[in-house]
Amino acid sequence: MVIFFKLVVFMSKEIDPSVIQHEPVASPCIGVCVLDTADICEGCFRTMDEIARWSTFSNDGQRDIIKKTWQRAKESGRIL
Protein backbone atom coordinates (compact mmCIF):
# COMPACT_ATOMS: atom_id res chain seq x y z
CA MET A 1 0.00 0.00 0.00
CA VAL A 2 2.88 2.40 0.75
CA ILE A 3 4.36 1.83 -2.72
CA PHE A 4 1.00 2.50 -4.34
CA PHE A 5 0.66 5.70 -2.31
CA LYS A 6 4.17 6.88 -3.28
CA LEU A 7 3.42 6.28 -6.95
CA VAL A 8 0.08 8.09 -6.81
CA VAL A 9 1.66 11.07 -5.05
CA PHE A 10 4.52 11.16 -7.56
CA MET A 11 2.26 10.84 -10.58
CA SER A 12 -0.38 13.30 -9.39
CA LYS A 13 1.85 16.28 -8.61
CA GLU A 14 0.81 19.46 -10.36
CA ILE A 15 3.48 20.50 -12.84
CA ASP A 16 3.83 24.02 -14.20
CA PRO A 17 5.90 23.54 -17.39
CA SER A 18 7.00 27.18 -17.50
CA VAL A 19 8.61 26.86 -14.08
CA ILE A 20 10.32 23.50 -14.39
CA GLN A 21 11.06 23.30 -18.09
CA HIS A 22 14.80 23.37 -17.44
CA GLU A 23 14.78 21.64 -14.07
CA PRO A 24 16.06 18.07 -13.81
CA VAL A 25 13.36 15.41 -13.81
CA ALA A 26 13.42 13.04 -10.84
CA SER A 27 13.62 9.36 -11.61
CA PRO A 28 10.28 7.63 -11.10
CA CYS A 29 12.06 4.69 -9.46
CA ILE A 30 10.43 3.72 -6.16
CA GLY A 31 12.83 0.89 -5.35
CA VAL A 32 10.64 -1.98 -6.56
CA CYS A 33 12.84 -3.20 -9.38
CA VAL A 34 10.99 -6.25 -10.70
CA LEU A 35 10.34 -6.74 -14.41
CA ASP A 36 7.16 -8.39 -15.62
CA THR A 37 7.00 -10.71 -18.64
CA ALA A 38 6.88 -7.69 -20.98
CA ASP A 39 10.07 -6.22 -19.40
CA ILE A 40 8.10 -3.44 -17.70
CA CYS A 41 9.16 -2.57 -14.15
CA GLU A 42 6.35 -3.29 -11.70
CA GLY A 43 7.49 -0.40 -9.51
CA CYS A 44 7.96 2.53 -11.90
CA PHE A 45 6.33 1.15 -15.08
CA ARG A 46 9.35 1.96 -17.26
CA THR A 47 10.66 -0.43 -19.88
CA MET A 48 14.11 -1.94 -19.43
CA ASP A 49 15.39 0.38 -22.20
CA GLU A 50 13.88 3.45 -20.53
CA ILE A 51 15.51 2.52 -17.23
CA ALA A 52 18.90 1.86 -18.80
CA ARG A 53 18.88 5.06 -20.86
CA TRP A 54 17.13 7.37 -18.33
CA SER A 55 20.15 9.62 -17.78
CA THR A 56 20.70 10.07 -21.52
CA PHE A 57 17.24 11.48 -22.21
CA SER A 58 16.60 15.22 -22.24
CA ASN A 59 14.26 16.67 -19.60
CA ASP A 60 11.47 16.68 -22.19
CA GLY A 61 12.26 13.07 -23.08
CA GLN A 62 12.13 12.10 -19.41
CA ARG A 63 8.78 13.87 -19.02
CA ASP A 64 7.46 11.94 -22.01
CA ILE A 65 8.53 8.71 -20.34
CA ILE A 66 6.77 9.76 -17.12
CA LYS A 67 3.57 10.26 -19.15
CA LYS A 68 3.98 6.79 -20.66
CA THR A 69 4.52 5.23 -17.23
CA TRP A 70 1.35 6.88 -15.96
CA GLN A 71 -0.59 5.40 -18.89
CA ARG A 72 0.94 1.94 -18.34
CA ALA A 73 0.04 2.10 -14.65
CA LYS A 74 -3.57 3.00 -15.51
CA GLU A 75 -3.77 0.26 -18.15
CA SER A 76 -2.46 -2.29 -15.64
CA GLY A 77 -5.31 -1.40 -13.27
CA ARG A 78 -2.93 -0.37 -10.52
CA ILE A 79 -3.90 3.30 -10.65
CA LEU A 80 -7.39 4.61 -11.19
Q: Cβ distance 33 to 43 under 8 Å?
A: yes
CA-to-CA distance for 45 and 24, rounded, in angstroms? 20
Q: With cut-offs at 50, 70 and 90, classify the pLDDT of residue 20.
A: low
String of DSSP letters for 28-62: ---S---B-TTSBBTTT--BHHHHHHGGGS-HHHH
Where on the phi/psi map is residue 58: left (φ > 0), alpha (ψ -120 to 50), or beta? beta
CA-to-CA distance for 59 and 68, rounded, in angstroms? 14
Domain boundaries, the chain: 2-10+27-76
Percentage of residues of the chain with pLDDT beyond 70: 72
Q: With cut-offs at 50, 70 and 90, classify the pLDDT of residue 78.
A: confident
Of 11 and 68, which is predicted with more confidence?
Answer: 68
Q: Is the pTM of this model over 0.85?
A: no
The average pLDDT across 29-53 equals: 95
